[in-house]
Structure 1
Amino acid sequence: MSDKQNEFQLVLQGDKHDIDAKVLSETINNFDNLIAELNIELKPEYPISLRVQTFKEGSFEILFALFADPNINSTLFSLLSKDNLAIAGNIISTLADLISIKQFLGGEKPKTITKTGHNQTKIENNKGEVKVINSKTGDIIFNNPTINVTINNTFQTIENETNVKGIKFQSLANEKEVLIPKAEFENVIKSDPKLLEKEIAERIEPARTITKENVSLSIFKIVFDEKYKWIFVDAEGQKISATIKDKDFFERVKKNELYFTNGDIIIAKLEISQEYNEIAKTYENRGYTVIEIKDVKHQPTQTKLHS
């Protein structure tokens, strides 16, 4: 098991040391979607990315690590800040709890759900067993259909790999490893704590808008007319076009209080329009709007460029 708070391991248990490429890619993609959704639920102001660290011999071990956007000093994990590592640990611990709850309920609705105070929720399954969880985790598992469907998709994908006999989820962030044998996959896949799959589909919004704080965007194309879109490169290396709605930013540019050029990085409050993809069972980004520019980080040497 990793000894770092921002890492977790997913072990696909079995006798073989190889795996179908499609199963591997879809599993990694599903976990990437889960981390992104949990980031929105738990700490949207701190953008987090999921990275695959290494593959280890054993059954088939995948080492994941969560990192903050390296352009934002206040959230840089390499600084080993206690608070920043706690954010990663909280996301990983919550993910482990969500998988554990799905296993605990075994494909059935909970018998009782009781909020006990002290930020805790008590769940009783139909076998009379009781599990006490963090209230926020309970809110996510019962009210976030995207996370439920993505966990289901993950187990459905892994179930198709004949060499896998079970999975093990372990990290420093959660005290106990989550161990699920393949015989229990079917219950995890069909389980939704409160709703049938049809009801989940009805609850998923076809379109939504999310807001992220402190997003770093590298300037690729500058447009001084407020009506047109700028082009940026995000932390994942993807080009995006976005309208800037920050009027104060343009006023400061006109007064020569700000200067910038291609390659500079803005730290922004970013609004993202998303549409739900029924095939991929996840939200896709469709449009971007910069609501506020909080800072401009310049390249070491540059020529000033402004209106």
Structure 2
Amino acid sequence: MVDEMGQHFRFHLVYDGPALEEHRMDVRALAPALLAMGDLVERANLILNGEQVKVSVDVHASFKSGSFGIDMDLAQSLWQKVLDLAGSHPAATMATICGLLGLSAKDAVVGVIQVIRWLRGRGVTRIEPLENGLVRLFVDNDYLDTEERVVKLVQDYKLRKALEGVIADPLEREGITSVSTVEDKKVAVHIERQESGYFRAPAPQDEALSEDTYTASLQVLNLAFQDGNKWRFTEGGGSTFHAVVLDEAFLKRVQLNQEQFSKDDIIRATVRRIQKVTKDGLRADYEVLQVLEHRSATPKVQLKMSFGPEA
């Protein structure tokens, strides 16, 4: 059900199977699924509308023979209408978001759920842009047309993890065999247990952002004598990082005891830093390319030396 302004959208989320014949669902399955649904809608809204339009997800439990159903009431803030009236880019309504996610059957949108079901765990080999915001996804010679916005949602790791919590996690519990969404008493989407694996979020790929090389003085906190192990350094200020030492000549001198380290010794080195976006956020990897100087951390005492009377 959609209101006139498009800011509210209601549908029925139904879990079915032998375990639910008495209209009961284990709270250990239900609570994470409901939280995941909230995360799913909030993440999609953030991707499509940014920070300015907020959403809320309310739950009303209801019952149907042989299943456990939950009425999901999704709402957006009135700030959406302010943005629209101000002439900025129109915000995606709640109905639009649910359509793009594939939770709604209205407007015949090929949404996230439909794309994932079509992929069946296969990787996209090519994306071809079409007109009017549409794209064509290829898996070898097989293809599917959808919206560019849907592809953006499908590629988002946090959204995929939330969808996993709504679909895959409950379906892999004993006694739950299907999950559906029902809109205006019509089934919009129906997923069986044997499809649950398709909705597991794939491992995200790290995305390289930048790479820079610089010279720095590093204090050695921990040494690693096995090949490939990382040393631990600090540049001061309390922050530490691990780095692979790639200077083979320096490592050989260390192995032959030609370079001997005491606690907190300092090296001056050429360092390469690679910044990446990962599933956990921004990460920096470090490599020590060349050790230019090695010195003791013990400070020197300034000697006042006199070599005779001044002229």
> TM-score with structure 2 length normalisation?
0.52
Is residue 95 of structure 2 the alignment partner of residue 89 of structure 1? yes
Report deviation, 1:29. Answer: 0.4
Report deviation, 1:56. Answer: 2.5
Q: How does 1:250-265 map to 2 (within 5 A)?
A: none
Mapped contact 2:160–2:200 kept (Cα < 8 A):
no
Q: Which structure has the bigger radius of gyration?
A: 2
Report deviation, 1:89. Answer: 0.4
The verdict on how the C-alpha distance between 1:162 and 1:114 changes in structure 2, with shifts beyond 3 A counting, is same
Deviation track 1:50-106 (CA, whole Å, cap 9, x = no partner) reads 111332224222211112347x6947xxxxxxxx99711011111211122111111
Q: Which residue of 2 aligns with 1:40?
A: 46
Secondary structure at 2:166 match in 1: helix
The verdict on how the C-alpha distance between 1:100 and 1:162 changes in structure 2, with shifts beyond 3 A counting, is same
- The CA RMSD over aligned residues, in Å, is 3.4
The verdict on how the C-alpha distance between 1:180 and 1:277 changes in structure 2, with shifts beyond 3 A counting, is same
Instruction: Report % sequence identity.
Output: 14
Q: How does 1:235-250 map to 2 (within 5 A)?
A: none
- Aligned partner of 1:106: which letter? R
Unaligned runs of 5+ in 2: 83-89, 103-110, 210-277, 282-311
- Determine the C-alpha separation between the residues in 2 that align with 1:132 and 1:169: 23
The verdict on how the C-alpha distance between 1:111 and 1:180 changes in structure 2, with shifts beyond 3 A counting, is farther
Report deviation, 1:182. Answer: 0.4
Q: How does 1:41-190 map to 2 (within 5 A)?
A: 41-44=47-50, 45-58=52-65, 59-69=67-77, 74=81, 87-96=93-102, 97-125=111-139, 129-142=142-155, 144-171=156-183, 177-189=188-200
Report deviation, 1:40. Answer: 0.8
> TM-score with structure 1 length normalisation?
0.53
Q: Which residue of 1 aligns with 2:296?
A: none
Secondary structure at 1:177 match in 2: strand
Mapped contact 1:43–1:87 kept (Cα < 8 A):
no
- Determine the C-alpha separation between the residues in 2 that align with 1:38 and 1:68: 12
- Determine the C-alpha separation between the residues in 2 that align with 1:109 and 1:154: 22
- Determine the C-alpha separation between the residues in 2 that align with 1:28 and 1:121: 31
Deviation track 1:127-174 (CA, whole Å, cap 9, x = no partner) reads x553221111112212x11112222233342024322111112436xx
- Determine the C-alpha separation between the residues in 2 that align with 1:277 and 1:131: 27
- Aligned partner of 2:37: which letter? F
- Determine the C-alpha separation between the residues in 2 that align with 1:73 and 1:148: 25
- Determine the C-alpha separation between the residues in 1 that align with 2:164 and 2:80: 36
- Aligned partner of 1:42: which letter? L
Report deviation, 1:3. Answer: 6.5
The verdict on how the C-alpha distance between 1:25 and 1:112 changes in structure 2, with shifts beyond 3 A counting, is same
- Determine the C-alpha separation between the residues in 2 that align with 1:161 and 1:40: 30
Q: How does 1:157-236 map to 2 (within 5 A)?
A: 157-171=169-183, 177-189=188-200, 192=202, 197=203, 199-200=204-205, 202=206
Q: Which residue of 1 aligns with 2:226?
A: none
Count of residues in Structure 1 that have an aligned counterpart in Structure 2 = 189
Unaligned runs of 5+ in 1: 76-83, 206-275, 283-307
Report deviation, 1:23. Answer: 0.7
- Aligned partner of 1:49: which letter? S
- Aligned partner of 2:179: which letter? I
